[in-house]
Structure 1
Amino acid sequence: MIKLPQTISVLFFGASLAVISPQIGAAFTVQEVVSLAQASNDLPVVKSAGLSPDMNVPWSKAVRIVDPFEGEFLGVFDRNSLGGYLYREGSNQVISLWTPSSIRVLVTVNSGQASSSFYTAGHLYSRPDFLRFVTTKKVDKLLLKVREKVFQLDGSTGSFAVSRELATALKNAPDENLDIRLILEGGQTIDSKIGKGTVKAWRSIY
């Protein structure tokens, strides 16, 4: 069962009842809260919120994360490879996790070498053996452009808080790829995109 905030406020507006979560500042009717909890039980389960280059999760889909250290919550994982295929020399990979309260980003720089051969039955054969080296980069700032508005987020260790305004913008983002810009430690800039599959999945968590 998805965790709801420990403290919530209940307000009456005429005949309707609203529940306000202090965690993300959004207002829900009681029916919406119940529906959200029920829907979360039907989502794929991911057992860790940690990000890594070789992680295997449902991409661009709403999932229920059950983390042994952080508890249970909804999220969407996204991945984008820049500069060719994933293990190409010098290519970048941008992995992100979008939750109601935060955005987490991991940037990796990939490199590989392929050179080996083997000798058998009097013949020398070439064999493409790949040696992978992956380094990660610290992300200091995250910029998102939703419609005509640019959100600039400052964070630490690749984690950025989601305000109520940003959550509303993400939920109502147009059905298309969304541009993001990552400013790394040292000032390097990486421009990437969030695919429209992830943009659609945001509607299930914001």
Structure 2
Amino acid sequence: MKTQLLNWGLGLSFILSTAPVAFAVEPAPIGENDKVQWSKVVENPFDGKIVYDKNFNDNLVFVSSWSKGGIRATYNRIESRLVGYRTVWHTRTVHRKHRKYEERYPEREPIYQKYRVEQPIKSLQFAINGQIHTYDEGPVSPELATALASAPAGNMLIRIVWRKGGTQDMEIGKGTVQSWKTIFSPSEG
């Protein structure tokens, strides 16, 4: 009996450890290099009217998709690690005894490899017209849709809440914010 109970307990812990985390923003269905129209409303056979947005720099890539069926977002941190060194030859001008000489000298230069680390997103928060709205999964609620459709023109700062705790503010482009008026308008089916 103890063996059966132990096996049942191990099975349950495996199921719980592999169960998906509830209340989490799904990853975006596109990547930053995909050939899509950014910040413009397009028709998608799976999502209907949708707009794609991206924000990136040397340290991060944030890609999102916005439709009534759901908001999806992927955040990748760009990191690098030292993988070795190489010798690089440089030339410099040296002045000796009133003459100029070209002199070559070696220098060790580090070689870095860049890689991505995806950070799972728990939820997204929006401060619109003096109210805080939160999205974490599934279809966009009528309240959030109304808020997004009425967002002020221009770039918008949103807050990412990480699954492991902590937050980070991210900017959504003005073209995407403008597109929300079309996508999340109550008159859109």
Structure-1-length-normalised TM-score? 0.58
Q: Distance in 1 between matches of 2:52 and 2:110?
A: 31
1:152 and 2:134 equivalent?
yes
Q: Which of 180, 189, 193 is the aligned partner of 2:167? A: 189
- Preserved contact between residue 60 and residue 76 of structure 1 (Cα < 8 Å): yes
The aligned counterpart of 2:51 is: 76
SS in 1 for 2:36: coil
Output the amino acid matched with 1:169. A
- RMSD of the TM alignment (CA)? 2.9
Match for 1:93 among 61, 65, 71?
Answer: 61
- 8 Å Cα contact 1:146/1:178 also seen in 2: no
Determine the C-alpha separation between the residues in 2 that align with 1:76 and 1:113: 35
**Aligned twin of 2:124:** 142
1:58 to 37, 41, 54: 37
Please give the alpha-carbon distance, in whole angstroms, between the structure 2 residues aligned to 1:107 and 1:98: 15
User: 2:114 is matched by which residue type in structure 1?
Assistant: R
| Displacement of 1:127 | 9.6
Aligned to 2:77: 109
Is 1:168 aligned to residue 123 of structure 2? no
Query: Which TM-score applies when normalising by structure 2?
Result: 0.62
Match in the other structure for 1:28: none
Q: Which amino acid aligns with 2:174?
A: K
Aligned to 1:95, what secondary structure does the other structure show?
strand
Post-superposition shift, 1:126?
A: 9.5
Structure 1 residues without counterparts, runs of 5 or longer: 1-48
One-letter amino acid of the structure 1 residue matched with residue 65 of structure 2: L
In 2, Cα distance between the equivalents of 1:150 and 1:185? Answer: 19
Partners of 2:29 and 2:72 within 8 A in 1: no
Unaligned runs of 5+ in 2: 1-27, 90-103, 185-189
- The CA deviation at 1:57 is 2.1
Give the Cα separation in 2 of the matches to 1:57 and 1:127.
38
CA shift for structure 1 position 148? 0.7
Q: Displaced runs of 4+ in structure 1, greater than 4 A?
A: 113-119, 122-130
What is the CA distance between 1:52 and its match in structure 2? 2.9
Give the aligned length.
141
Give the 3 Å change call, closer, same or farther, for CA 129–148 of structure 1 in structure 2.
same
Cα distance in structure 2, aligned partners of 1:142 and 1:192: 10
